[in-house]
Amino acid sequence: MASSNQASTIKTNRNSDPSTDINVLLMGQTGVGKSTFINALANYLCNDTLEEVTNDQMQILIPSAFSFTHEEMFDEKRIQVGEENEYEKLNDDGQTCTRYCRSFVFPVGKKNLRIIDTPGIGDTRGLEQDTKNFHEILTFISQYEHLNAICILLRPNEERLTILFRFCVNELLRHLHVSVRENIIFVFTNARSTFFKPGSTSKILRALLNELKLTQNIEVCFTRENSFLLDNESFRYMALRKDGIELSNEQILSYQKSWEHTVKEYLNLMGYIVTRPLHGVSNTLSLNEAEQLIRNLTRPIAETVRLIQQNIQLAKQHKENVLKNSDITSQRLPQYDAEIIRLKHPRTICVNENCCEPIIINNEVKIKYTSKCHESCYCKSILQDTISDASMKECEAMDHETGTCKKCSCSWKEHQHITYRYKTNLCYLNKICSSSDIDKRIDDLEDEKVKIEDIYKKLSKFLHANGIISINDDILQYYKVFLKEEQLKNKFGCQNNDVIGGLEQMMQDYTTEMNSFKDTIRNENDSSNSKDVLVAENIFNLAGTLYRLPINGKKIREQVDCLKISQNDISSKREVFVELPIKANSSAMMRLVDQSCLALIDDEHIWDMNRPLEHDCKLKFLHFMEENFFKSNYNVELCSFSPPQFQYGSFAYDVKLNLEDWQPSRDDFSYIAQSVAEEMFAYDRFKLAQIPHMLRLMSPLDTQTSLSVYRMGDCHFDITRRPLISSTKQIGKFEFSAIHQIDIPSYGETMQCVQALSIPSQLH
């Protein structure tokens, strides 16, 4: 890593606007080179030539190791750079085994370039582990607003891609919006072995993409434009030099050629990435977010239904006392209130009955857990606030051979991971309750309990039908623990038979209904289409229903919010903010990513940074703050290879309108006819009702026959008095300016050139 000396390093701007971040997700098979990709990028950002690296400090973000055999002595030596950590382990072959997602954030001018490293697909532990890894990836990226690119790393000579394709393409398209296909990029590693060609992988990949198009009608492009051929062998050369190994001139020359080619491809890659439309993650990852929300609701719901059962019993006992003794009719109704206490650190506790004891506090029987097995448990794979999670075996408190706790000797299955304490306090309702008031309170509590149970059954069915990973009935684990607690309290003299009976009945009802549902979906080809299964969007509506429950909704919401805060804290510990040497500011890669919009090839030709470079060349990167940019000596005319993106500056776009005699007025640039608007919004009666209203706002005398509509993204149009802008990343002021007629003699037709102008935000 670079020195921490503030004057000699560039630090990441942790307070930057997240919408300006460049987020790149790396996916690929185990050992394909994702970690090397990140290590190499750190050095390419700092240096333009291999000589600069060898004379400077090597950037090492992730541990790497390989074997080197001297060409004359045939002595084999293991070369290792960087130290292993809890996220990356080196296997026997020296390959880095990334165990959990982690992001590396590079400072690039005023922006942040975030590269997200992921566990490899094709894990040696089998398909089940691949499934868990993919779920981990989806969960991790859900914290970001958008992705700029998804780089799928491939070896150029693969023979089988079925498992990789399933997770990197099929499952991604299932969980993200189909528009993510515009952000998929194919990166071939170790390309020197196939003379920088895609090799045999190309044929297999095309076949799988064609199958996707035929079966799901989804086309993912695989062209030279979105494919890049890298070879990071020069990173090994840096490691050899760092280890003091001398190489022949021929070997050094080979590594230099590899460096030069790969730097050029990285420039192509980064140039392509910054032109991709942003793919909104937080808005489209609905299926995975629904899963996370349901898991976050499990403990809050379990805690709440037990509290309701306890309060029903308290109310019934109070009513009995009132009926027996008229002197206490003036007393207020006792009820338990929940207090949510967030822990400073996640904790692992044992819930075995041998590790807890009943105690008396203010004449109430409480259960105290005596074994806090791991006070600060940040085990990466454990699902928060779950019981008997298999990942508990990886907790530091567990003996990995026996699966028992080193502190209490109980099985990992008897342990719970918690992030907050759920404490109940006895309180009294403000008003004096009559017998009818008590009955009303009991009815309200029963009604909320039924609603909560019904909602959770629907949520659980959704998980069983749509879950990526196999689903355990987590709520049953909570019910079992709570039942043991209540039975232990009962033995200690607590009058809680109704609570015990209620928990037993809830367990039976839930088990019966879920077993019936599981039998149903086993007999259906597509369980997600079952009439009993909700769509992802409805999950959030159900959660809102829970939060609005008049008695217990607020405490359910408070628990879920507490879990989200803890999740964010854990995620922040998995982000590495990289410091780079100050000289990185002048590297070609840095200039490209930070501020360039065009480049000059060999001081002569303009490059739009979309098309691949085809030969060795000299590059000069151009940006809006250049003294001579857009001056008369730069006559820039570029073809658009994608829809015009006005946020990047002025544009011209050629279209066929079939309106040769049309002389547009200023209003033609701003408005559409009422009849056109009615046709556009025919699908929505509410929008149709807005059209006359909007016209009257523009002209109270009913003389207005055209109005404005605004577009956001690829397919969303709306009627509004204000523009809708999906990304304010680089946009300043913009305005449509003109339409020019273009004669095309070879076709005997006329086209129109539509022009618009925006002031880039860099000039503000």
Is the model's pLDDT at 419 over the cut of 60? yes
Note whether residue 223 is domain-resident: yes
**Among candidate residues 521, 551, 581, the one where a domain is terminated:** 551
**Among candidate residues 523, 551, 579, the one where a domain is terminated:** 551
Identify residue 379 by its one-letter amino acid code: C
Is the model's pLDDT at 735 over the cut of 60? yes
Among 326-335, 480-489, 654-663, 687-696, name the one with the lowest average pLDDT: 654-663
Note whether residue 607 is domain-resident: no
Output the DSSP codes for 256-307.
Answer: HHHHHHHHHHHHHHHHHHTTSPPEEHHHH-HHHHHHHHHHHHHHHHHHHHHH
Q: How does the average pLDDT of the chain come out, rounded?
A: 77
Note whether 303 and 274 are same-domain residues: no
Note whether residue 592 is domain-resident: no
Is the model's pLDDT at 626 over the cut of 70? no
Note whether 147 and 229 are same-domain residues: yes
Bridge partners of residue 183, in order along the sequence: none
Highest mean pLDDT among 69-73, 299-303, 590-594, 754-758: 299-303
CA angle 193, 195, 197 (to 5 degrees): 100
Note whether 317 and 201 are same-domain residues: no
Note whether 718 and 746 are same-domain residues: yes
Among 91-100, 163-172, 211-220, 240-249, name the one with the lowest average pLDDT: 91-100
**Cα pseudo-dihedral 367, 371, 376, 379, rounded to 10:** -100
What is the distance between the alpha carbons of residues 67 and 82, in angstroms, rounded to a whole number? 15
Note whether residue 597 is domain-resident: no
**Among candidate residues 551, 571, 602, the one where a domain is terminated:** 551
What is the distance between the alpha carbons of residues 513 and 532, in angstroms, rounded to a whole number? 12
Note whether 310 and 266 are same-domain residues: no
Q: What is the pLDDT of residue 742?
A: 62
Look at phi and psi of residue 596 and say left if phi exceeds 0, alpha if psi is from -120 to 50, else beta.
beta
Q: What is the pLDDT of residue 54?
A: 62
Q: Give 659's pLDDT tier (boundaries 50, 70, 90).
A: low
Is the model's pLDDT at 300 over the cut of 90? yes
Q: How many domains does the chain have?
A: 3
Which has more confidence, 531 or 408?
408
Note whether 274 and 420 are same-domain residues: no
Q: What is the pLDDT of residue 128?
A: 73
Is the model's pLDDT at 554 over the cut of 90? yes
Mean pLDDT of 451-455: 93
Note whether 270 and 406 are same-domain residues: no
Mean pLDDT of 700-722: 60
Q: Are 102 and 117 in contact (CB under 8 A)?
A: yes
Note whether 498 and 465 are same-domain residues: yes
Is the model's pLDDT at 1 over the cut of 60? no
What is the distance between the alpha carbons of residues 497 and 478, in angstroms, rounded to a whole number? 18
Q: Give 722's pLDDT tier (boundaries 50, 70, 90).
A: very low
Note whether 650 and 712 are same-domain residues: yes
Note whether 382 and 439 are same-domain residues: yes
Note whether residue 600 is domain-resident: no
Per-residue pLDDT tens for 99-124? Answer: 788 999 998 877 889 999 988 877 66
User: Can you give the residue range of the structural domain that contains 635?
Assistant: 625-763
For tokens 């709306």, name the residue: 718
Give whole-number Cα distances, 537 to 37, 208, 284, 286, 563, in Å.
37, 30, 10, 7, 21
Give whole-number Cα distances, 516 to 81, 257, 519, 527, in Å.
55, 64, 5, 13
**Cα pseudo-dihedral 251, 253, 255, 257, rounded to 10:** -150
Note whether residue 596 is domain-resident: no
Note whether 404 and 505 are same-domain residues: yes
Note whether 319 and 253 are same-domain residues: no
Note whether residue 418 is domain-resident: yes
Note whether residue 527 is domain-resident: yes
Q: How many CA atoms lie within 13 A of 345 on its CB side?
A: 11
